[in-house]
Amino acid sequence: MEELPATITSKDNDDADGDNGDVDVVDDDDDDDDGVMMMMMMMMVMMMMVGMIIMIMTMMGMATTVLVMMIMVMMMMLMMMMLIMMIMMMIMMMVTQPSTRVDH
């Protein structure tokens, strides 16, 4: 009966000594960030589809100048979204690096 607790404690020591658990947690956090990025990219694609539908609808009965204005507005919105995404990525990197350092 004494050998069974010895094996259990040895497994606990292996789990505690190995950093595999910590590395897995960090990888999971990176995967979650990638998932958020994919969701944001899907939202951008949906916004582009809605913008194209609006462009087609306006093309049926409005002037080309209005279409050019819509294109400029869409480009400005895309640039603003890209800047916001870059800022969010910088913030996420700044937040995740101290957390990983604390974990290690």
Is residue 102 assigned to a domain?
Answer: yes
Given this model, what pLDDT does residue 13 score? 46
Residues 62-77 pLDDT 10s: 666 666 777 778 778 8
Residue range(s) defining the domain that contains residue 82 = 76-104
Report how many domains make up the chain: 1
Is residue 93 assigned to a domain?
Answer: yes
Is residue 85 assigned to a domain?
Answer: yes
pLDDT band at 10 (very low <50, low <70, confident <90, very high): very low
Using alpha carbons only, give the angle 44, 46, 49 rounded to the nearest 5 degrees: 110
| DSSP-assigned states of every residue in 16-57 | HH--HHHHHHHHHHHHHHHHHHHHHHHHHHHHHHHHHHHHHH
Residues 21-74 pLDDT 10s: 545 455 555 555 566 777 778 778 878 877 777 777 777 766 666 667 777 787
